[in-house]
């Protein structure tokens, strides 16, 4: 790896990371306007044209507010909490493929931070580290609401990790690879010449499990039990000031974006357009780099769809009760996940035998 | 190892962003601490007792079960990776996995029968 490579890698990483951070202000406005749309009210529409500058105003407000470190907290862990949630949320985006590759000076560079060959395991492993931040923050706050919120968050996230892992496992079984890039490459073409060869058609049950578990992993409604405002004030971040809350919020939205990215890569064909092969597109467009831009647009559009679904579901489905949530994970999703693995294995065996 | 170099770069960037957020709020925000402001929040009421209270054993039980099941689920991953290539050699791997799966389901049924997941 020479200097040009290093510079391009650093710039690429920075662009992808900054791009993923932009999800936060974008989602802030989409979420609030989306909620308003569903609830039939105008929503924030005063700052800038159509209220588009609302996120900027929100961020400025958060930053200018007073920083309060309550007297009863365990200071080191309390201060560490938000950063410990944000760090894993930032790191998991490394495995997401945004496109095939682009070329600079006739040298190919992958449209991905790092082509990790154990991609999906990396995401599961790093993603679950975020619990530590929540647990540290909640416990160190020395507040009963925070403690309960943190306990709930932890047990919810670890419980839904298992269906998530099992769904990912059947995807690994189907594609025969851990690498998200490999999975996307395998999804090119069509199934029986009619429908796109996407994971969602080959692994419908796996996708459903992954989709449900993704909501629980990111603490979104209908599974936002850690922050039920009616029972726990604000859950694990009750004692945190505005910008710390902002950091938790940022981590939540980045996790949502990562989960959407994973669903796109594993089940919705990543950068592939349905029914059009990459080689054909390259012929039409004539240039690798234009194709790369098109691929990034495709992936981002698919991710944006899932982000809107998150908002849509949030304002449509009421919240679960905590024991219902646990029962859903252990009694329904885990047996279904195991069943899905057996089903996939048997189908693969029959396909191989035929 | 070189595949993980960009992850290192990303880690440094993430640290910079976290540290930046951490510093900016301290630089911009005013500071005017008074005891009432710094007190523990309990809906405006004077706090009754410390929050360092014992919590339900149900949560502990879930953590233990998670540990068991996640480790067991982790065993599926290497199997899933080699399964497709081993198809030519007959159903040996499929049967082995089915036996393992049966044991796992047995454990799951045991948990349900013992009502381990009852919170409250």
**Would residue A42 count as lying in a domain?**
no
| Distance, CA of A243 to CA of B21 (rounded, Å) | 8
Q: What is the pLDDT of residue A230?
A: 67
Q: A35-39, A246-250, B46-50, B94-98 — which is least confidently predicted? A: B46-50
The answer to whether A217 faces chain B, any CB pair under 8 Å, is no
pLDDT band at A183; cut points 50, 70, 90: confident
Q: Which residues of B touch A241 (CB under 8 A)?
A: 25, 29
Judge whether A31 lies within some domain: no
First to last CA, chain B: 48
- Per-residue pLDDT at B61: 83
Query: Do B66 and A83 count as a contact with CB atoms less than 8 A apart?
Result: no
Q: What is the pLDDT of residue B120?
A: 52
Spatial separation of the C-alpha atoms in residues A88 and B27, rounded to whole Å: 25
Cβ–Cβ < 8 Å for A213, A167: yes
Q: Is A255 part of the contact surface with chain B (CB cutoff 8 Å)?
A: no
CATH number, position B32: 1.20.58.1610
For position A1, what pLDDT does the model report? 66
Say if CB A352 and CB B87 are below 8 A apart.
Answer: yes
C-beta of residue A319 within 8 angstroms of C-beta of residue A156: no
Domain presence at residue B120: no
Facing A155 at nearest CB: one of B35, B59, B97: B59
Say what percent of chain A tops pLDDT 90: 7
Q: Which of chain A's residues have a Cβ under 8 Å away from the Cβ of B31?
A: 66-67
- Three-state SS for A101? strand
Four-point Cα dihedral B12, B14, B20, B25, nearest 10:
-150
Whether residue A165 lies inside any domain: the answer is: yes
Domain count, chain A: 1
pLDDT tens for the 120 residues of chain B, in order: 677 888 888 889 889 988 888 888 778 877 887 877 777 777 767 777 776 777 777 788 888 888 888 888 888 888 888 888 877 777 888 888 889 889 888 988 888 888 777 665
A235 has pLDDT over 80: no
**Alpha-carbon gap, residue A286 to A283, rounded angstroms:** 5
- pLDDT tens-place string over residues A271-289: 888 877 777 877 887 788 8
Q: What pLDDT is attached to residue A5?
A: 82
Residue A213 lies in a domain: yes
Cβ distance A9 to B17 less than 8 Å, yes or no, reads no
pLDDT for res B119: 62
Residue A179 forms contact with B (CB below 8 Å):
no
Tokens standing for residue A61: 């407000």
Which domain, by its residues, includes A104?
68-353
Q: Indicate the number of domains in chain B.
A: 1
Flag whether pLDDT at A294 surpasses 80: yes
**What's the half-sphere exposure (Cβ side, CA atoms, 13 Å) at A216?**
27
Query: Is B119 inside a domain boundary?
Result: no
Distance CA A166, CA B72 (A): 10
Q: Is residue A142, in this structure, part of any structural domain at all?
A: yes
The interface pTM score, or ipTM, of the predicted complex is 0.84
Is residue B82 a part of any domain in this protein? yes
C-alpha A272/C-alpha A295 separation (Å) is: 7
Residue B32 domain-assigned (yes or no): yes
Lowest mean pLDDT among A85-99, A181-195, B47-61: B47-61
Q: CA dist A124 to A2, A95, A217, A233, A262, Å?
A: 32, 11, 11, 30, 11
Contact between B22 and A56 under an 8 Å Cβ cutoff? The reply is no
As beta bridge partners, residue A109 has: A102
Question: Which segments of A77-186 are extended strands (E)?
Answer: 101-104, 107-110
Does the residue B87 lie in any domain? yes
Q: Taking all residues of chain A, what is their mean pLDDT, rounded to a whole number?
A: 85
Question: Which chain A residues in 333-352 lie under 8 Å from chain B, judged by CB atoms?
Answer: 334-335, 338, 341-342, 345-346, 348-349, 352
B88 lies in which domain range? 2-114
**pLDDT tens for each residue of A106-163:** 778 888 888 888 888 888 888 888 888 888 888 888 888 888 888 888 888 888 888 9
pLDDT of residue A353: 65
């Amino acid at each position: 790896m020479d200097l040009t490579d290093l510079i391009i890698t650093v710039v690429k990483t920075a662009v992808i990371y900054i791009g993923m951070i932009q999800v936060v202000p974008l989602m802030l406005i989409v979420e609030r306007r989306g909620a308003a749309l569903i609830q039939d009210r105008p929503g924030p529409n005063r700052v800038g044209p159509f209220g588009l500058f609302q996120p900027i105003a929100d961020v400025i407000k958060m930053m200018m507010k007073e920083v309060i470190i309550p007297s009863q907290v365990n200071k080191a862990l309390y201060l560490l909490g938000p950063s410990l949630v944000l760090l894993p949320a930032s790191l998991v985006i490394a495995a997401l493929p945004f496109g095939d590759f682009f070329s600079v000076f006739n040298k190919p560079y992958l449209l991905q931070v790092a082509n990790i060959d154990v991609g999906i395991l990396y995401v599961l492993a790093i993603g679950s580290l975020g619990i530590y931040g929540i647990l540290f923050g909640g416990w160190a706050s020395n507040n009963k609401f925070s403690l309960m919120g943190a306990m709930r968050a932890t047990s919810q996230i670890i419980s839904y990790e298992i269906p998530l892992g099992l769904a990912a496992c059947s995807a690994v079984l189907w594609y025969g690879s851990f690498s998200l890039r490999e999975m996307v490459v395998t999804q090119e073409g069509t199934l029986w010449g009619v429908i796109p060869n996407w994971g969602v058609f080959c692994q419908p049950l796996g996708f459903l499990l992954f989709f449900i578990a993704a909501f629980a992993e990111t603490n979104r409604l209908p599974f936002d039990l850690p922050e039920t405002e009616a029972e726990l004030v604000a859950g694990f971040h009750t004692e945190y000031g505005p910008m710390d809350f902002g950091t938790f919020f940022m981590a939540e939205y980045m996790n949502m974006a990562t989960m959407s990215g994973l669903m796109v890569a594993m089940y919705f064909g990543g950068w592939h357009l349905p029914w059009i092969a990459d080689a054909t597109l390259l012929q039409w467009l004539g240039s690798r780099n234009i194709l790369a831009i098109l691929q990034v647009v495709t992936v981002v559009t698919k991710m944006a769809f899932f982000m809107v679904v998150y908002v849509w579901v949030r304002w449509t489905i009421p919240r679960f009760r905590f024991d219902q949530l646990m029962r859903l994970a252990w009694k329904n999703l885990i047996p279904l996940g195991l069943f899905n693995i057996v089903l996939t294995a048997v189908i693969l065996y029959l396909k191989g035998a035929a | 190892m070189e595949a993980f170099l960009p992850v290192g770069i990303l880690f440094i960037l993430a640290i910079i962003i976290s540290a930046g957020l951490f510093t900016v709020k301290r630089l911009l925000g005013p500071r005017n601490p008074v005891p009432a402001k710094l007190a523990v929040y309990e809906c405006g009421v004077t706090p009754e007792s410390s929050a360092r209270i014992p919590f339900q054993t149900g949560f502990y039980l879930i953590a233990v079960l998670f540990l068991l099941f996640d480790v067991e689920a982790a065993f599926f991953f290497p199997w899933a990776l080699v399964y497709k290539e081993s198809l030519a050699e007959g159903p040996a791997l499929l049967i082995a996995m089915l036996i393992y799966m049966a044991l796992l389901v047995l454990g799951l049924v045991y948990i349900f029968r013992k009502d381990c997941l009852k919170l409250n």
